[in-house]
Structure 1
Amino acid sequence: MNAIYHHFIIRAELKKVFDAVSMPKHLVQWWPKTCKGVPARGEEYNFFFEEPYDWYARVSELEKDKFIYFKMTKSDPDWDPTTFGFELVPHEKGTYLKFFHRDWPEANDHMKYSSFCWAMLLDGLRNYVEKGLVVPFEERE
């Protein structure tokens, strides 16, 4: 199986970063257009981007302020077998975020494009948490 990894520092406390990657009201500030879900193991999230991208995932692992993993349940055929997640580690400058998106069936063009998109979106996450900047949904990759 294939995977995407992005690791970087966010100059903010763990709780603030965890909320930004787990709470729908914060997720919509840097990733989907709308989002519903509860950060608890086994709970379902709905990540809506635009038609036909109305995707669902289940929280497969979670420890508050440490990590959250999402197992895709209804999405694109390439994404359906995948799990993505955020692991947070205390760092002298704030929080070290370790992002993964694994279990891709092929290292195809879609996976490579998704890696680029994740990098751009995660930069948006960093700017949102550190500076309160929000990129309008229509301008996100």
Structure 2
Amino acid sequence: MKANEEGFTIYHNFPVKALSNKVFKAISNPEDLAHWWPLKCTGNPKVGAEYNFSFGEPYDWYGEVVQCKENSSFHIKMIKSDSDWYSTTFGFDLFEKESGVTWVHFFHKGWAEQNSHFKHSSYCWALLLNGLKNYVEKGIIIPFEERN
């Protein structure tokens, strides 16, 4: 596989049995994010705002919101992280295609190479996004220590 001008990209699309406003809150509100992804999180869902994603030492990462459309899209560009994630952008685009179901189109673009970290991150995103789905649909919170 050859990278495009933006590098390599991870994609995951999946349905969530909830309205887009509930999904948007789970992907953009720091308290909700901490229920399915980082250990701790701070930030404000608006373009230009900075988010802190803390996974415990030494993983204290930062990203900047580059797109935020309420109940529709939320994209973050990494500004402080490890070298593989630095300058990559991940995001969520939400589509209500049927009553009570929101399709999440997730991407994580800008990877310089398809190294082992890229492949591991794709796998981890799949697990975490399933955690997002279960959190929104069923209120399930997996303890941080048990998230792979």
When normalised by structure 1's length, the TM-score is 0.99
Is 1:132 the equivalent of 2:139?
Answer: yes
Q: Which amino acid letter does the alignment assign opposite residue 100 of structure 1?
A: F
- Sequence identity (%): 52
Please tell me whether the aligned partners of residues 81 and 105 of structure 1 are also in contact (alpha carbons under 8 angstroms): no
Normalised TM-score (structure 2) = 0.94
1:28 equivalent to 2:34? Answer: yes
SS at match of 1:50: coil
Matching residue within 15, 18, 27 for 2:21: 15
Residue 94 of structure 2 is aligned to residue 78 of structure 1: no
Q: Which ranges in structure 2 are unaligned for 5 or more consecutive residues?
A: 1-6
CA displacement, residues 65-91 of structure 1 (integer Å, 9 cap, x when unaligned): 100100000001000020000000012
Give the partner amino acid of 1:66.
S
Check conservation: 1:36, 1:47, Cα contact below 8 A.
yes
Equivalent residue, structure 2, for 1:100: 107
Root mean square deviation of aligned Cα: 0.6
Inter-partner Cα distance in structure 1 for 2:22 and 2:136: 7
* Number of residue-to-residue matches in the alignment: 141
